[in-house]
A and B are shown apart, each in its own frame.
Chain A
Amino acid sequence: GESVGLHLPTLSVQEGDNSIINCAYSNSASDYFIWYKQESGKGPQFIIDIRSNMDKRQGQRVTVLLNKTVKHLSLQIAATQPGDSAVYFCAETDDYKLSFGAGTTVTVRA
């Protein structure tokens, strides 16, 4: 069977290493997915999105992977920096209402 990354509530990563944040979604009808970053005292900040007709999308230092078969989403951050420390949420929708995952707190070690 295929290996799927486990969602972890916290992730500690060494500065300069790559980070992988996993998210399992529940609605098989969801066709649009977004990753957000939320720093303390701020609102969620858009990072990257992906539509269900794609399985991979790349941005600046970030890559989102979508596996619809097992309803799994991941965010990869290359060369993690101290400024990447935050809570990361995945969100899914099949219309306009976003449903958010539980969030993963990423801490970058110097």
Chain B
Amino acid sequence: GAGVSQSPSNKVTEKGKDVELRCDPISGHTALYWYRQSLGQGLEFLIYFQGNSAPDKSGLPSDRFSAERTGGSVSTLTIQRTQQEDSAVYLCASSLGGGRSNQPQHFGDGTRLSIL
């Protein structure tokens, strides 16, 4: 079946520009997560959605980062006024249940963001 789909797969932009990253989760998955993977570092949690609500935004690095989810499905992660340190792979995951449901998170292939 279809997995988590992310677009674009690669994005190169100039410092100071805004970018939007899109995630289409597995159909029926109510929970959606964004993580960031930087070179030489592990994956770090950014934000968690349960349905359209984001009960945990604690991982967003600054107020330049925001995310929304509509219709309990597609999510967009927006980075405003991009900085070079924002360069990373942004990964989206979804799971059947959220919270403490102990359901595996399934990842997309990510968006590779490069800030020049």
Contact = CB atoms under 8 A, between A and B. Distances in A.
- Is A bound to B? yes
A5 B93 CA distance: 30
8 contacts: A32-B102, A41-B109, A43-B93, A43-B109, A44-B107, A46-B104, A94-B100, A96-B99
Contact of B106 (A46, A51, A100): A46
Given A43-B91, A96-B33, A103 B109 contact: no
A92 to B, nearest CB: 12
B45 A89 contact: no
Contacts, number: 55
Nearest to B95: A96
Contacts of B106: 46
Nearest to B45: A97
Interface in A63-89: 89
A94 B107 CA distance: 19
A42 B4 CA distance: 12
A97 B109 CA distance: 19
Interface string B79-114: 000000000000101010011111011111110000
Contact of A44 (B43, B95, B101): B43
Contacts of A101: 42
Interface string B36-60: 0000001101001000000010010
